[in-house]
């Protein structure tokens, strides 16, 4: 437990430029306090002590604004930044060096027993207000954009944005946990591609109309020119919309 707390302290010093000293982190960082108290309640939960772990969890919630069920498994070096409104469910598993921002929910779906909350692998970053729901797996080095709602498994080294969360980038490049401005605007890209597709089709219709007019006059065009192929951009649109349309 001591090594875990040392890792929790070290990750704050590494990722938060506002952290200035040991006492400031211990006394003024609710994320650190919440994880510290959770490690105590989790130990009690594992040895089967009734009620007390839940009481500690509720006290932690009142003091820090972070609600962590004592059954949740949290690795070393996990940083809950600011923390207000964070909810972590009973069967959640969080890998080492993960970063959660305020308003994050790692929740369940339905009322089934057993594993019903997400598993985050190492170095996952979950942006402010994001919701990761159900017994899904999020691969290591993945970055989930602020406000996203993730309900499906995510492969490693991915970037997920939107509602529902969609994988818009997968590179294998190590995630910079503080580079929120680098998240792609997937909706804008798809809308731009759709507008270009409409323009392309309108040009095709106009070209065919001109050909028909020439044919009516008795002139037969030797060659019909077509616009630039849209296959690559169509692929981007389909990837964003997902496979649901193909299944229906």
Largest CA distance in the chain: 93
What pLDDT does 104 receive?
Answer: 93
Beta-bridge mates of residue 131: 105, 149
> Do residues 135 and 219 both lie within one domain?
no
Separation of alpha carbons 43 and 22, rounded Å:
24
What pLDDT does 245 receive?
Answer: 43
> Do residues 243 and 174 both lie within one domain?
no
Q: Which tops the pLDDT comparison, 147 or 245?
A: 147
| Three-state SS at 14 | helix
**Mean pLDDT (whole number) for 124-152:** 91
Confidence check: pLDDT of 135 > 80? yes
Q: Which tops the pLDDT comparison, 84 or 237?
A: 84
> Do residues 8 and 49 both lie within one domain?
yes
**Mean pLDDT (whole number) for 66-91:** 91
Separation of alpha carbons 86 and 66, rounded Å:
5
What pLDDT does 236 receive?
Answer: 60
Highest mean pLDDT of the ranges 8-17, 140-149, 215-224: 140-149
For residue 125, say if its preceding peptide bond is cis, omega within 30 degrees of 0.
no
pTM: 0.70
> Do residues 227 and 214 both lie within one domain?
yes
Q: Which tops the pLDDT comparison, 68 or 229?
A: 68
**Mean pLDDT (whole number) for 139-158:** 89
Q: What is the pLDDT of residues 74-83, one digit of tens each?
A: 999 899 988 8
CATH number at residue 21: 2.160.10.10
> Do residues 235 and 172 both lie within one domain?
no
The two beta strands, 166-170 and 158-161, are antiparallel
> Do residues 201 and 122 both lie within one domain?
no
176 pLDDT band, cuts 50/70/90, is low
Separation of alpha carbons 61 and 82, rounded Å:
13
Separation of alpha carbons 145 and 169, rounded Å:
12
> Do residues 47 and 127 both lie within one domain?
yes
In angstroms, the Cα distances linking 232 to 30, 200, 227, 239 are 47, 14, 14, 11
138 pLDDT band, cuts 50/70/90, is very high
> Do residues 14 and 129 both lie within one domain?
yes
Q: How many domains does the chain have?
A: 2
Query: Domain boundary at 130, 152, 182, which?
Result: 182
Confidence check: pLDDT of 241 > 70? no
Angle at 178 between CA 142 and CA 37, to 5 degrees: 80
The two beta strands, 125-126 and 99-100, are parallel
> Do residues 147 and 215 both lie within one domain?
no
Query: Domain boundary at 151, 182, 213, which?
Result: 182
Separation of alpha carbons 148 and 83, rounded Å:
17
What pLDDT does 8 receive?
Answer: 76
* Residue whose C-alpha is closest to residue 99's, from 70, 69, 130: 130
> Do residues 176 and 193 both lie within one domain?
no
Poorest-pLDDT segment among 57-61, 200-204, 219-223: 219-223
What pLDDT does 27 receive?
Answer: 84
What pLDDT does 246 receive?
Answer: 44
Tell me the residue length of the chain: 248
What pLDDT does 26 receive?
Answer: 82
The residue segments making up the domain with residue 90 are 2-182
> Do residues 141 and 208 both lie within one domain?
no
Q: What is the CA radius of gyration of the chain?
A: 25
CB distance 71 to 93 below 8 Å: no
Query: Domain boundary at 136, 166, 182, which?
Result: 182
Q: What is the pLDDT of residues 198-212, one digit of tens each?
A: 877 888 888 888 888
> Do residues 86 and 165 both lie within one domain?
yes
């Amino acid at each position: 437990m001591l090594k875990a707390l040392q890792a929790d302290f070290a990750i704050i010093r590494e990722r938060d430029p506002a952290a200035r000293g040991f006492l400031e982190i211990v006394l003024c960082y609710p994320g650190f306090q919440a994880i510290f108290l959770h490690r105590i309640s989790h130990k009690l939960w594992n040895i089967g002590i009734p009620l007390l772990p839940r009481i500690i969890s509720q006290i932690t919630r009142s003091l820090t604004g972070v609600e962590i069920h004592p059954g949740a498994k949290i690795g070393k070096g996990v940083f809950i930044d600011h923390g207000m409104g964070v909810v972590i469910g009973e069967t959640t598993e969080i890998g080492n060096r993960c970063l959660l921002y305020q308003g994050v929910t790692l929740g369940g779906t339905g009322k089934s027993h057993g594993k019903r909350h997400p598993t985050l692998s190492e170095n996952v970053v979950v942006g402010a207000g994001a919701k990761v729901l159900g017994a899904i797996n999020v691969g290591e080095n993945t970055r989930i954009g602020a406000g996203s709602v993730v309900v499906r498994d995510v492969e490693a080294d991915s970037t997920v944005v939107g509602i529902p969360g969609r994988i818009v980038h997968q590179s294998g490049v190590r995630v910079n946990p503080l580079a929120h401005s680098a998240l792609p605007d997937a909706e804008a890209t798809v809308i731009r591609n759709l507008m270009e597709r409409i323009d392309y089709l309108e040009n095709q219709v106009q070209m065919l109309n001109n050909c028909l007019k020439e044919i009516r006059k008795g002139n037969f065009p030797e060659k019909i020119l077509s616009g630039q192929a849209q296959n690559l951009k169509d692929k981007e649109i389909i990837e964003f919309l997902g496979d649901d349309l193909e299944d229906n």
